[in-house]
């Protein structure tokens, strides 16, 4: 009885301290998230496979799963995420101003953004490249034969600059028509206003599948004209939260590498492989180092599966998007996804 | 005339109303200045604390992105300020042409609502109620959809007389090749306008002195056309035209108006014309009926009554609200980004995303619209004073 009272009073004091401290320390994202009881995650307004809300308002996608995994590790509950759909222009301001805790919205990792926007990028969750989509009946087979063509593009992305660079380098004289909203840009393309539509190849696959009347009438050209490492980002000046987010992402990749899946994660707790034991927290307490408990990665994997499962479920070859694993495979399977060891 | 006390010496005490007024005004100015300074300081400090770079130095760096249509030569290697200039000129192009077209259309419809013909009255009434009651953004999207859905594909344009092409890429038309002789035609235009204005002044004076009516429309127009023709002759009568020719996915030569430009122009013009029609109608209705009866009794024909008696008096009522409509049209042009027209907002959005300078880019947009709006206001206020009744 006495100990219960003691516990209660400690909790009360700690809670009060957390509430009192929260406004004063804007940098303490972890405390703020815990006090709030939910992670606020900035996502795309709608990009099939990456972040999309269904008719019940439930969000799914690769970018969404990143937030779910972090919420599972940090708050013990993958459903405690509040999603804030953001346009390309709104996203950085939303993160800078503290409206969201993490930006997981197919955002390209570039020097300018990393160095001057008051944010830090996390490990890329999808290595992409910018491509072109054209109607099959235009008989265009290569981006090099688009000379003088009008190209529809959404504003507020790195896409416009890549397009200009490619156009100059190949003397194509492409004419960009820039729309504020993705729906407007794709609408103009499907109406035939533009000869081609350009965005990241994953986005092209998503749009072709979701918005085209008949996906077979549109073809994605083979040229990829840029490197687009899509990565989540967090605000600068909060190393604690950055470490948690970063290592949850690495942990999901590491889980794939050592065969820990959503289905077998509980059985894996009896594994005698020392690496697996570290990941599932049966030997060393890796969670303590990032301010969490032993089971942090178990919860993350249980919530969304390992990185390979996330990929397969949202964008992989069995989904309508049918994106090949390609460079997004693990380093030991021919890709470039390489997580530093969890130890 | 009220009795006026002799001027007193300035009283520097709280009992003096003038002194108190001065103090209160100074305090108000100081408070506003401090408020603005505090906001600016706070923003800068917060941005610095979060590691966000700020400043306008990026305007000198190469922009690195193309712009779909431009009135001046522009290249992706040009600095940001030039990209902004392209955007500003695109905004002004829509605003200026839109204001002119909306004024003409709005005046015709406003006058049409007083027509004796019931059909004309009905059509004008229906027009106003239709266009002013649908949000302008929806209208822009509607026109753009009509253009991009109904026009033929880019590779199969409708061609008229071999020189006009109409397709989803827009409307292409021939333009004169820019040789020195063509410049003289424009010089002729300027000279012609000056001569026509001088003629008009002279004709008005003669009319007041002798009562002889001279044409105030046909003759000045004739002068302008003649001056341009003279310029063309002096320039060696150049006849070379640049004719648009389909070349792959684009047009070689000529000039073209894109569906984006036409959509913005049509949407803003038709929307604003509905409001201008109402302004004109209110102005005409404000002229006392006795004025019409008086001019009828003088034997003036109906069109003279409208032109010489009603409109000049209506103008005083029309101009102030008309100014607001001009400002609205200019500001509404910022919606152009929704249908892909590269106005200043569109360029600023792209720049914002490439540089991350949100505060700076929004400031530039605000400064551009504030400057254009204030210039329009200044001009229209001047015109208002000119056409107001001179109190004697």
pLDDT in tens, B143-157: 999 988 888 888 888
Model pLDDT for residues B98-110, shown as the tens digit of each residue: 999 999 999 999 9
Within 148-177 of A, beta carbons closer than 8 Å to B belong to: 148-150, 152, 155-158, 160-161, 163-165, 167-168, 173-177
Q: What confidence category does residue B35 fall into, taking pLDDT thresholds of 50, 70 and 90?
A: very high
Is A33 in the B-facing interface, judged by CB distances under 8 Å? no
CA angle A251, A255, A256 (to 5 degrees): 125
Determine whether the interchain pair B353/A237 forms a contact, defined as Cβ–Cβ distance below 8 Å. no
- What are the C-alpha distances in Å from B260 to residues A251, B89, B95, B114, B336? 48, 15, 14, 35, 8
Read off the pLDDT band of B373 (50, 70, 90): very high
The span from the CA of B270 to the CA of B286, in Å, is 24
Q: Using 50, 70 and 90 to split pLDDT, how confident is the model at A4?
A: very low
Q: Which of A264-268, B181-185, B340-344 has the lowest mean pLDDT?
A: B181-185
In the DSSP assignment, the letter for residue B8 is: P
End-to-end C-alpha distance for chain B, whole angstroms: 17
Is A322 near chain B, with CB under 8 Å? no
Q: Do A148 and B68 touch (CB under 8 A)?
A: no
pLDDT tops 80 at residue A333:
yes
Q: Calculate the average pLDDT of chain B.
A: 88
Q: Give yes or no for residue A264 having a pLDDT over 90.
A: yes
| pLDDT at residue B312 in the model | 86
Tell me the pLDDT band of B359, cut-offs 50, 70 and 90. confident
Per-residue pLDDT of B376-386, as tens digits, reads 999 999 988 88
Contact present, B113 and B281 (Cβ < 8 Å): yes
At B4 the pLDDT is 62
Does an H or E element contain A206, and which?
A: helix A201-211
DSSP structural state of residue B306 = I
- Residues B141, B149: Cα–Cα separation, whole Å: 12
pLDDT tier, B86 (very low <50, low <70, confident <90, very high otherwise): very high
Q: What is the pLDDT of residue B254?
A: 80
Distance from CA of A132 to the nearest CA of B (A): 15
**Contacts with B334 from chain A: Cβ below 8 Å:** none
Mean pLDDT, residues B68-90: 92
Cβ contact, residue pair B64, A88, below 8 Å: no
The answer to whether the Cβ–Cβ distance between A156 and B352 falls below 8 Å is yes
Q: Which residues of chain A lie closer than 8 angstroms to B148, CB-CB?
A: 188, 191-193
- Rounded CA-CA distance A91/A284 in Å is 38
How many percent of chain A have pLDDT more than 70? 92
Answer yes or no: is pLDDT of B2 > 60. no
Q: Do B169 and A149 touch (CB under 8 A)?
A: no
Look up the pTM and report it.
0.77
What pLDDT is attached to residue B392? 60
Alpha helices in chain B (DSSP H): 17-49, 80-112, 118-132, 136-150, 180-210, 218-234, 259-285, 289-297, 302-304, 311-332, 344-355, 358-387
Q: How far apart are CA A52 and CA A72, in angstroms?
A: 20
Nearest to A89 among B144, B247, B353 (CB): B353
- Looking at residues A88-105, what average pLDDT do you find? 91
Report how far residue B144's alpha carbon sits from residue B148's, in angstroms, rounded to the nearest whole number.
Answer: 6
Q: Is the dihedral of CA B286, B290, B293, B294 positive or negative?
A: negative
- Whether complex ipTM tops 0.95: no
**Integer CA distances (angstroms), A168 to A152, A179, B77, B249, in order:** 17, 21, 10, 17
Interface of A with B in 256-275 (CB under 8 A): none
pLDDT digits 0-9 by tens, B130-142? 999 999 999 999 9
Which A positions 83-112 lie with beta carbon below 8 A of chain B? 88-89, 92-93, 96, 112
- Residue B256, pLDDT score: 85
Measured between CA atoms, the residue of chain A closest to residue B353 is: A156
Taking the CA atoms of A71, A73, A75 and A76 in sequence, report the sign of the dihedral they define. positive
At residue B7, the pLDDT reads 62
Report the residue of B262, B347, B356 to disrupt the A interface, i.e. the one with the largest count of A CBs within 10 Å.
B356
DSSP calls for B134-201:
S-HHHHHHHHHHHHHHHSPPTTS-EEETTTEEEETTEEEE-EE---HHHHHHHHHHHHHHHHHHHHHH
8 A C-beta contact, residue B380 and residue B329: no
> Under an 8 A CB cutoff, do A155 and B153 touch?
no
The answer on pLDDT for A25 being more than 50 is no
Residue carrying the six token digits 């495979």: A329
| List of chain A residues whose C-beta atoms are within 8 Å of the C-beta of residue B249 | 146-150, 195
Residues in chain A within 8 Å Cβ distance of B338: 179-181, 184
Tell me what pLDDT residue A156 has: 66
B52: which chain A residues are within 8 Å (Cβ-Cβ)?
A: 96, 116-118
Least confident of A38-42, A50-54, B253-257: B253-257
The nearest CA of chain A is from the CA of B68 a distance in Å of: 5
Q: Look at A175 and B352 and tell me if their CB atoms are within 8 Å.
A: no
| B66–A174 C-beta distance less than 8 A | yes
- Which residue of B lies nearest to A175 if distances are taken between CA atoms? B68
Q: Is A117 on the interface with B (CB under 8 A)?
A: yes
Tell me the sheet residues that pair with A41. Answer: A83, A102
Report which of residues B239 and B339 the model is more confident about: B339
Structure tokens that stand for A140 in this block? 């265009």
Mean pLDDT, to the nearest integer, of A2-9?
46
Rounded average pLDDT over B292-317: 87
Separation of first and last alpha carbons in chain A: 40
pLDDT tens figures, A299-308:
999 999 999 9
Query: How close does chain B come to A66, measured CA to CA in Å?
Result: 24
Q: Taking residues A144-153, report their average pLDDT.
A: 91
In this prediction, residues A47-62 reach a mean pLDDT of 93
Q: Which residue has the higher pLDDT, B1 or A47?
A: A47
For A236, the closest of B50, B258, B349 (CB atoms) is B50
Is the CB of A195 inside 8 Å of chain B's CB atoms?
yes
- pLDDT tens-place string over residues B260-275: 999 999 999 999 999 9
Q: Is the pLDDT of residue B56 over 90?
A: no
Strand partners, A47: A51
C-alpha A47/C-alpha B333 separation (Å) is 29
With H, G, I as helix, E, B as strand and everything else as coil, classify residue B67: coil
Mean pLDDT of chain A, nearest integer:
88
Which region among A105-119, B237-251, B290-304 has the lowest average model confidence (pLDDT)? B237-251
Tokens standing for residue B372: 């254009």
**Chain A closest-CA separation from residue B157 CA (Å):** 12
The closest alpha carbon to B355, from B72, B44, B83, B45, belongs to: B83
Residue A26: pLDDT band with limits 50, 70, 90? very low
Cβ A193–B342 below 8 Å, yes or no?
no
Which pLDDT score is estimated for A17? Answer: 39
Nearest CA to B280 out of B308, B311, B318 is that of B318
Tell me the shortest Cα–Cα distance from A146 to chain B, in angstroms.
7
Would you state the pLDDT for residue B304?
Answer: 83
Asked if residue A5 has pLDDT above 50, the reply is no
Supply the DSSP symbol for A337: B
**Residue A176: its chain B contacts at CB < 8 A?**
65-68
Cβ distance of A177 and B338 shorter than 8 Å: no
CB contact under 8 A, A179 and B76: no
Q: Which residues of B touch A149 (CB under 8 A)?
A: 248-250
What is the C-alpha separation between B332 and B324, in angstroms, rounded? 12
Q: What does the radius of gyration of chain A's CA atoms come to, in whole angstroms?
A: 22
Q: What is the mean pLDDT of residues B210-237?
A: 82
Residues from B contacting A (CB-CB < 8 Å) are 47, 49-53, 64-69, 76, 144-145, 148-149, 153-155, 168-169, 247-250, 258-260, 337-340, 342, 346, 349-350, 352-356, 358
């Amino acid at each position: 009885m006495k100990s219960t009272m003691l516990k209660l009073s400690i909790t009360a004091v700690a809670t009060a301290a957390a509430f009192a401290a929260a406004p004063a320390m804007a940098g303490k994202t972890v405390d703020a998230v815990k006090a709030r009881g939910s992670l606020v995650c900035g996502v795309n307004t709608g990009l099939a496979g990456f972040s999309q809300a269904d008719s019940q308002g439930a969000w799914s996608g690769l970018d969404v799963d990143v937030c779910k995994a972090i919420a599972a590790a940090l708050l013990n509950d993958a459903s405690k995420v509040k999603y804030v759909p953001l346009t390309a222009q709104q996203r950085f301001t939303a993160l800078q101003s503290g409206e969201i805790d993490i930006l997981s919205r197919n955002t390209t990792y570039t020097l300018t953004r990393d160095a001057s926007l008051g944010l830090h990028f996390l490990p890329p969750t999808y290595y992409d490249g910018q491509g072109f989509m054209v109607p099959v009946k235009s008989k265009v087979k290569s981006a090099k034969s688009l000379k003088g063509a009008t190209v529809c593009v959404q504003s507020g992305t790195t896409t416009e600059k890549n397009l200009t660079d490619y156009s100059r380098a190949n003397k194509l004289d492409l004419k960009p028509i820039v729309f504020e909203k993705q729906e407007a840009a794709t609408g103009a393309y499907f109406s035939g206003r533009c000869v081609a539509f350009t965005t990241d190849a994953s986005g092209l696959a998503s749009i072709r599948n979701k918005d085209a009347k008949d996906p077979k009438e549109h073809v994605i050209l083979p040229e990829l004209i840029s490197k687009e490492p899509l990565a989540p980002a967090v605000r600068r000046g909060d190393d604690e939260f950055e470490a948690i987010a970063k290592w949850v992402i690495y942990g999901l990749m590491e889980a794939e590498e050592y065969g820990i899946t959503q289905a077998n994660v509980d059985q894996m707790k009896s594994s005698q492989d020392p690496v697996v034991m570290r990941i599932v927290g049966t030997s060393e307490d890796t969670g303590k180092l990032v301010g969490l408990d032993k089971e942090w990665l178990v919860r993350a994997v249980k919530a969304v599966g390992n990185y390979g499962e996330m990929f397969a479920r949202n964008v992989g070859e069995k989904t309508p998007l049918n994106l090949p694993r390609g460079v997004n495979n693990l380093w030991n399977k021919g890709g470039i996804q390489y997580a530093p060891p969890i130890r | 005339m009220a009795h006026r006390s002799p001027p007193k010496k300035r009283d520097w005490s709280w009992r003096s109303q003038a002194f108190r007024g001065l103090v209160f005004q100074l305090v108000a100015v100081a408070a506003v200045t401090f408020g603005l300074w505090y906001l600016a300081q706070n923003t800068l400090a917060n941005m610095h604390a979060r590691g966000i770079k700020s400043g306008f130095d990026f305007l000198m760096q190469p922009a690195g992105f193309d712009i779909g249509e431009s009135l001046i030569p522009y290249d992706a290697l040009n600095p940001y300020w030039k990209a902004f200039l392209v955007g500003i000129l695109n905004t002004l192009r829509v605003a200026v042409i839109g204001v002119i077209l909306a004024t003409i259309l709005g005046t015709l419809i406003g006058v049409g609502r007083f027509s004796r013909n019931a059909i004309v009255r009905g059509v004008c009434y229906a027009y106003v109620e239709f266009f002013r009651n649908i949000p302008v953004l929806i209208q822009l999207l509607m026109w753009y959809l009509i253009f991009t859905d109904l026009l033929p594909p880019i590779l199969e344009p409708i061609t008229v007389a071999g020189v006009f092409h109409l397709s989803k890429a827009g409307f292409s038309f021939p333009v004169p090749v820019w040789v020195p002789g063509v410049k003289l035609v424009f010089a002729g235009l300027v000279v012609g306008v000056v001569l026509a204005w001088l003629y008009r002044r002279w004709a008005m004076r003669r009319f007041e002195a002798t009562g002889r009516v001279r044409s105030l429309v046909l003759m000045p127009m004739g002068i302008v056309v003649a001056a341009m023709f003279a310029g063309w002759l002096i320039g060696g009568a150049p006849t070379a035209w640049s004719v648009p020719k389909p070349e792959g996915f684009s047009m070689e030569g000529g000039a073209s108006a894109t569906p984006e430009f036409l959509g913005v122009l049509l949407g803003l013009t038709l929307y604003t014309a509905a409001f201008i029609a109402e302004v004109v109608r209110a102005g005409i209705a404000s002229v006392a009926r006795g004025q019409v009866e008086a001019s009828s009794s003088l034997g003036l024909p109906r069109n003279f009554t409208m032109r010489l008696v009603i409109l000049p008096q209506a103008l005083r009522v029309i101009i102030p609200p008309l100014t607001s409509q001009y400002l609205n049209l200019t500001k509404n042009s910022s919606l152009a980004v929704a249908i892909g027209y590269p106005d200043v907002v569109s360029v600023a959005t792209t720049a914002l995303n490439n540089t991350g300078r949100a505060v700076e880019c929004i400031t530039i947009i605000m400064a551009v619209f504030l400057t254009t709006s204030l210039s329009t206001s200044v001009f229209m206020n001047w015109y208002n004073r000119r056409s107001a009744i001179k109190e004697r």
